[in-house]
Structure 1
Amino acid sequence: MTTPRQHIGDLVSEMLAQYGVTKVFGMPGGQTTALHDGISRRTDRIRHILMRDERNAAYAADAYARLTGRPGVCDVTVGPGANLLPAGFLEALNASIPMIGIIGELPLDWLSLKEKGIASQGFDQLAFFKTCSKEAFLVPSVEALPDLIRAAFRIATSPRPGPVALIIPHDIFDAEWDEETLPIVVDDRAKQIPFVRATAPGPEIDKAIALIQKAKRPAIVYGGGVHGAAAAAEATEFADRLGGLVVTSLSGKGSVPETRDYAAGVLNPLGSWAAIELIQEADLVIWCGSKVSQNTGMNWTLPKPDQATITIDSDPMEHGRTFRPTVPLFGDVREILRSLTAALGDSLAGSRPDWAARIAEIKAEGDAAKAIEMASDQVPVLPPRIMREIAARLEENDIVVSDASFSAGWISGYIPAKKAERQFLFARGQGGLGYAVPGAIGAAATRPDARIVTVAGDGAFSYTIGELATQAQYNQRVVNVVINNGKLGWIQLWQEIYFGNVQSANLESQGSTPGYAAAAAGLGLLGIYVEKPDEIGPALDRAFAHDGPSVVEVRIDDRATPIHSFKRRMKEQNAKPRPRPGTVYKLRQYKISPDL
C-alpha cells in the first residue's frame, strides 16, 4: 500500500492542529479540497464541521473562539463562498474576537482572469477582505505560507484581537509538500488570547486608587474585554473589595456573578432598569474592557459631565474615543485589575453604607417589576415568563446563545449569570440577526458536555433555519427557543411609535403562519409548539431531556418589548401610535471627565 503524497493541505491542517485548533467550520470547494483531505488524516486532533452556509461558518467559529479564547477557524471556497464571510468577520472585528478565515482562490497566474468572473467565481478577494478584517493576506508562494499562518495567529490573538483572512490560491493548495525542505514551526504563544499582556505604570495605578478612595458612589462597567482577557475571577475579586455598583455590557455579562448584592445587571437600553438608574448616580465610573459603545454608553449620555472616569483597556485608541478619561490605564485588563486590587489594600466593602442601601433599594424596585412579568399567565405569552422557565432548568455549565434584537434584552434582564464566566454569547459587534443557531453549533462542538440554549425571535430564526440540519447531523444537545410574535418586533414598534404604523415588518399574512417547530421536526429535530404559559415548563422539560437538538416555539405578545423607552412611549400614547415628522439625531458631545 502506497503512502498518500503530502500536499500543502497537509501543511495547513498540521499547523492548525499544532496551534491547538480542534474544530474548523466551513463549506468545501474544489479549490480547498486539499485542506479537507489534510484534516481527514488528522481526525484524532482536528475535525471539520460542515455548515450549510458560509456566513454561518464564521458565526460558529466566533462562538468557538468566545468559549475557548483560541482563534476560531472557518474555511470557504473562492467567490460565492468568500463573499458570504463578511457578516461574521465584521462581528468578530467589532467584538474583538480572534478568528482566521482560510479562503480559497484561483491559481496565482490567473490574475488577469479574475475580473467580472471571467475565470469562474473570480473577483478581487484581497481588497474585499481588507475592508472587514484586522488583516488580510494573499499567499504568494508555497515558501511564504508557513510564515503567513504564523502571522495570522499572531495578529488574530494580539491586542486588540480580531479576524484575519488567509487567501490561498488553488495551485498552492494542491502543491506537494516536502517536510524536510519546508518544516513546520509554530509560535505557541499565539495559541490563545491575549498574545501578550502588559500593565499600566505604577504612578497611573496610584492616581486611579486615589480617585477610588475619594469616591462616595463608585461604579464599574465591565465589558467584553474582561472575558477576552480571561479576567472574570479578577473582576469579581476587585468588585468584591471596591464596595460599589457593578454593571456590565451585554458582552460583559458574567464578568461577576449577578447574584452579588452590588451587581445591577446589564447597562443597555434593553437591559436592566436598575443599571440604567443607578449608573446615573455614580460619582466615579470605571470603564473596564468596554469601548463605551452607543448602547452601553446609553446613546453617549454616559459618562455624565460630573462623573470622574477611569478607563482600563489594552487598545490605546479606546482611552478617549468618546470622552477624555480622568485616569487612563492602558494595558491588559487582567493585569491592571490585579494591580488595582493589590494597591487598594484593605477592602472598601461596607465603607459606603448609603450607596449600598441605594443600590439595594433600586434593585428591589426593579426586581419587583420583573417578578410580575415573569409570573404572568397572560396569553399570548410574555417573554419574561419564558426566561424564568429557562433559567430554572439551566445547569452550572450550560451555555446561552442570544440572537440579536429583543432576544438579547430578554436574556440579559431575566436570566441571571450565576458565576463569573462567559456562559452568555451575544453577537453585539454587528448586532445582526441570525447568530444564535450557528453560534450554538460552534458552542456545542466546543462544549459537548454542556446543554446549549438559544433564544431567537422568529425573524432572526428565519435567517439560519437551514443550520438546524447541521445540529441534527451532529446530534448536538441544543435547545432552540423561538419567541414568535409574527413580526420583526423592534422594527414594527419603531415604525408605529415614530412613523405612524408603517406595515413593512410583518412576517405573517392571513392564512400564512410559518411553523418553526414543524419545520424543525421535518429536519429531524424534536419540535414543540407552545401557546399557553403552563405549557412552557413541560415543553422545556421534554427538550432538555431529549438526546439531540430541539426547537420550542412559543407564541408571544407582539407588543412585548424589553426596551424601556419603548415601554414608556407606548404607555404615554396609551398603546396608540402617534405619528412624528422624523427622528432628530443629535451630535454626540466629547466630554472631559472631572477629578473628584
Structure 2
Amino acid sequence: MTNMTGAEYLSRALDAYGVEAVFLVPTALSATLVAMENETAIKRIVTHGEKAAAYMADGYARATGKPGICMAQNIGAANLAAGLRDAYLGNSPVIALTGGPYEWSRGRNYYQEIEDFPLFKPVTKSSRQVFDVTRLPDQLDQAFRDATTGKPGPTHLELAGHTGDIIENQSFDATVPAPGVRRSPALRVAPDPEAIAAAAAALRAARRPVILSGGGVRTSGASEEVVALADRLGAPIATSLNGKETVPADHPLSIGIPGLYARASANQIMLEADLVMYVGSQTGSQVTLTWQVPPTSTRVVHLDIEPTELGRHYPDTVPVVADARLGLIALLEALGPVDTEQTRPWRERAAELTARWRESVADLTGSEAAPLRPERLTSDLSWLLPDNAIVVSDTGHAGMWTAGYLDLAKPQQGFLRAAGSLGWGLPAGIGAQIARPDAQVVVFTGDGGLFYHLSELETAARWNVPLTIVVNDNRSLNQEINPYTVAYGGALSGRHHELWHFNDVNLATVAESLGVTGIRVTKPSELEPAMARAAEIDGPVLIDVVSDIDAVAPKGSAARAPH
C-alpha cells in the first residue's frame, strides 16, 4: 500500500480501469485533473455545458462499451443529472462524478448550494455519496461494476466538497487497482437449458416467425449469432434502433425497423407474424408502436439479460434470461438442423412487402428536388458513408429518417441513436469520435437539434476531432407541423410560424466562425463531393444540407395491408 491523496488515487484508478477521456465543466476535481496530466494520458475535455459533458461521455460509452466519465461541481450537478437521462434510457454505462455540500454549509444559504443528490436517483442504476476518502476505492469500483453488469446504465458518485475537494485532499494508504479495462458486458450470464429447450420448441413450431435484434445484441457482440439464427430458421429479421447495426441491411432476410420510427413494411410483417423473438431488446412503446406491433396476443420468445423485462408486456412469453451471445449460441445448438421449407411462403411474403415499400418511396429517394428531400439525403448517405462509419443520430426527425431510409451494410459500420434528448447528436458524436479514432463518426441531426449545443463545435475544433456533422437543415422544427395542425383545428393559420419556424441561417458559415470547416449543400448532386471533401479534411466538418421544410417523416402505423 502507498500513502496518497484522494486525487492521486482517483487519477490512477481511472487510468487503471482503461479510461482514456473525461468530460467536464470546471471547476470539478481540479487536483485530480492535474494528477491526470502528470501521471496519465487521459484527455481532459472541457465542454460548454454539463449536459453536453454527459452526452459526450454517453457517446464515448456507446462507441466502446467502456464507461464514459463526466464531472461537475455541485453547482452544475443538476445539469449533469439532466444529461444522464439519455444514457439511462439508452442503457449506456456512464459514470458521473460530482461535488456535494460541505457538512458545515448545509442549510445555511451558502452561495448557489442546493441538495442535488436526489436528482440522480431516477436517471442512474446507483447513486452514492463518499464522505471519507477511505471509501473511495470500494465506491468507485462499485460504480464501475454497476454500470457494466447486467443491463448497462449510468451511475453516480457524489464526492464530499463543492468540487469534490474534501475527498481529493484527504490522504490515505491505498493500493491502485491492477490494470484492466472495464467494459460491458462485464459478466456474461449463461441461460437455463430448460428455458433454451422451450424457446427452441416454440421457434420450431412457428410458421411465421420474426426475430428482432436489439441493443443488447450490439452490447454483447452477438451480431453473427443473431443473423445465424435467422438463417437457420429462415425467419425475417428486424432490429430496434439501438440494434440497427447488428443486421446488414442487404441481408435477404432483413426487414428493417418496426414500431414508431419504422418502415411501413416492417410493421406489416410484424402484424402478420405468429411468433416474435426479441433478443436483447425491451418491448417498449417505441419498438412496438405502443404494443400494437405485434399485438399483445402474439406469442413471444424473449432473450434478455434483464429478468424483469421478460413477459412484461406480452403475456404469452417464453422467457430466456441470458447474455445475448451465450443465449444465442445455446439456442443454435439446441435447434439443430431446421427444415425451412415450411416457412418459405412466409419469407416470400416478407420479401414482397419489403420490395413493395421500396417501390413506394422510390420517387422520394431518387428525387432531384431542391431543397433536398430528406429521403434522398439519407438514402444517398447509405452508399456515401465510409466503410468504417459510426452514424450518430439525433432523436425526432433525425431518428425517423435514419431508421427508415439509412442502410448500413458494411461489417465495420455502426449506429448510435439518441434515446429521446434532442441535441444529443453533436456532443455524443464528439465523445464517440474521441473514443474511436479508428472509425469515422458521422453525426446526423437537424438544425433544431444542432442549435441545442451549437457551442460544442468549438470543442470539436479545439481538440481537432475529425467527425463529420450532416445537418438536415429545414430551417424549422417541422416535426411540430402535425401537432400544431391539430391544435389550430385542422389547418395551420394565424401566426403558427412563430411556433416552429427559424431564420434561414447559413450553418456552414457559423461552423467556420467556430473553427469547423463548413460546406453548404443546396441540391442532391452536391452531397457526394461534400462527403468526399469531408473525408479528406483532418478535423471536424459540418455539411449544411438545405432541405424541404414541408417534408415530414412518416411515423409507424398499425394498419394492416391487404395480403
Fold equivalence (TM over 0.5): yes
User: For residue 47 of structure 1, what is the amino acid of its counterpart?
Assistant: K
Give unmatched runs, 5+ long, in structure 2. none
- Contact 1:271/1:562 (8 A) holds in 2: no
Cα offset, 1:462, TM superposition: 0.6
Look up the match of 1:90: 85
2:457 equivalent among 461, 468, 479: 468
Asked if structure 2 preserves the Cα contact closer than 8 Å seen for 1:492 and 1:504, the reply is no
| Superposed counterparts of 1:262-277, under 5 Å | 262-277=253-268
2:22 — aligned with what? Answer: 24
Structure 1 residues 195 and 449: alpha-carbon distance in aligned structure 2, compared to 1, 3 A threshold: closer
Q: Which amino acid aligns with 2:70?
A: C
> Which moves more between the two structures, 149-158 or 304-313?
304-313
Match of 1:492 in 2: 481
2:355 to 348, 359, 364: 364
> Do the aligned partners of residues 96 and 348 (structure 1) sit closer, same or farther apart at CA in structure 2, a change above 3 Å counting?
farther
Q: CA deviation at 1:498?
A: 5.7
Name the counterpart of 2:423: 434
- Tell me, yes or no, if structure 1 residue 184 matches structure 2 residue 181: no
Task: Give me the whole-angstrom Cα distance separating, in 2, the residues matched to 1:280 and 1:420.
Answer: 29
1:343-375 CA distance string (max 9 Å, x none): 111144555221121121111111223332121
Superposed, 1:96-495 pairs within 5 Å as 96-113=91-108, 118-170=109-161, 171-178=165-172, 181-185=173-177, 188=180, 191-349=182-340, 351-419=342-410, 423-428=414-419, 431-495=420-484
CA contact (8 A) 1:232 1:421 kept: no
1:496-511 equivalences in 2 (<5 Å): 496-497=485-486, 499=488, 500=490, 501=492, 503=496, 506=499, 508=501
Deviation at 1:132, TM superposition (A): 2.0
Alignment partner, residue 67 of structure 2 = 71
Alpha-carbon distance in structure 2 between the residues aligned to 1:392 and 1:303: 31
Residue pairs, 1:563-574, within 5 angstroms:
563-564=554-555
Map of 1:580 onto structure 2? none
Paired amino acid for 1:97: S
- How far does residue 76 in structure 1 lie from its aligned partner after superposition? 1.2
CA distance in 1, matches of 2:520, 2:302: 47
Assess, with a 3 A threshold, how the Cα gap between structure 1 residues 335 and 404 changes in structure 2: closer, same or farther: same
Kept in 2: contact 1:444–1:452 (CA 8 A): yes
From 29, 35, 39, the counterpart of 1:38: 35
Structure 2 residue matching 1:324: 3-state secondary structure: coil
SS in 2 for 1:553: strand
Identify which of 542, 545, 552 aligns with 1:561: 552
Contact 1:311/1:325 (<8 A) preserved: no
SS in 2 for 1:460: helix
Q: Which of these residues, 517, 536, 541, is aligned with residue 526 of structure 1?
A: 517
Which deviations, in whole Å up to 9, do the C-alpha atoms of 1:91-126 show, x marking residues without a partner? 11122111101112233443343xxxx222321122
Equivalent position of 1:542 in the other structure: 533
Task: Give the SS at the match of 2:388.
Answer: coil
Provide the C-alpha distance between the structure 2 equivalents of 1:416 and 1:15, rounded to a whole number of angstroms. Answer: 40
Whole-Å separation in 2 of the counterparts to 1:41 and 1:348: 63
Deviations 1:227-277 (A, max 9, x none): 122222222222221211111111110122121111011113232222111
Mapped partners of 1:480, 1:281: distance in 2: 39
What secondary structure, in the 3-state scheme, does the structure 2 residue paired with 1:311 have?
strand
Give the drift of 1:542: 2.2
Check the 8 A contact 1:11/1:177 in 2, yes or no: no
Deviations 1:293-340 (A, max 9, x none): 111111211332552111111111101222223311122222111111
Aligned residue for 1:408, secondary structure, equals helix
Gaps in structure 1 of 5+ consecutive residues? 569-596
Calculate the TM-score normalised by the size of structure 2. 0.93
Deviates more, 1:512-521 or 1:297-306: 297-306
CA offset at residue 43 of structure 1?
A: 3.5
CA RMSD across the alignment:
2.1
Q: What's the secondary structure of 1:110's corresponding residue?
A: coil
- Contact 1:157–1:195 (CA under 8 A) maintained in structure 2: yes
Matched, 1:15 2:13: yes
3-state SS of the aligned residue for 1:521?
A: helix
The range that moved more, 267-276 or 299-308, is: 299-308
Q: How many residues align?
A: 549
Give me the whole-angstrom Cα distance separating, in 1, the residues matched to 2:201 and 2:86.
37
Q: 1:192 and 1:360 mapped to 2: Cα distance?
A: 38
Q: Which moved more, 1:409-418 or 1:59-68?
A: 409-418
Q: Is the 8 A contact 2:388 2:412 kept in 1?
A: no
Report the CA distance shift for 1:36/1:249 in structure 2 as closer, same or farther (over 3 A).
same
1:532 Cα deviation from its structure 2 partner: 1.9
The separation in 2 between residues aligned to 1:326 and 1:449, in whole angstroms, is 41
Structure 1 residue 507: Cα displacement: 5.0
Kindly state the Cα deviation for residue 68 of structure 1 after the two structures are TM-superposed.
1.1
Give the secondary structure class of the aligned counterpart of 2:74: coil
Cα offset for 1:197? 2.0
Which amino acid is the alignment partner of residue 31 of structure 2? A
In structure 2, C-alpha distance between the alignment counterparts of 1:286 and 1:317, rounded to whole Å: 17
What is the DSSP-based 3-state SS (H/G/I as helix, E as strand, rest coil) of the residue aligned with 1:111?
coil
In structure 2, what is the equivalent of residue 55 of structure 1? 51
**Letter of the structure 2 residue corresponding to residue 41 of structure 1:** N
> Offset at 1:147?
0.8
Distance 1:369 1:249, change over 3 A: same
Please say which of residues 351-360 and 208-217 is displaced more in the overlay: 351-360
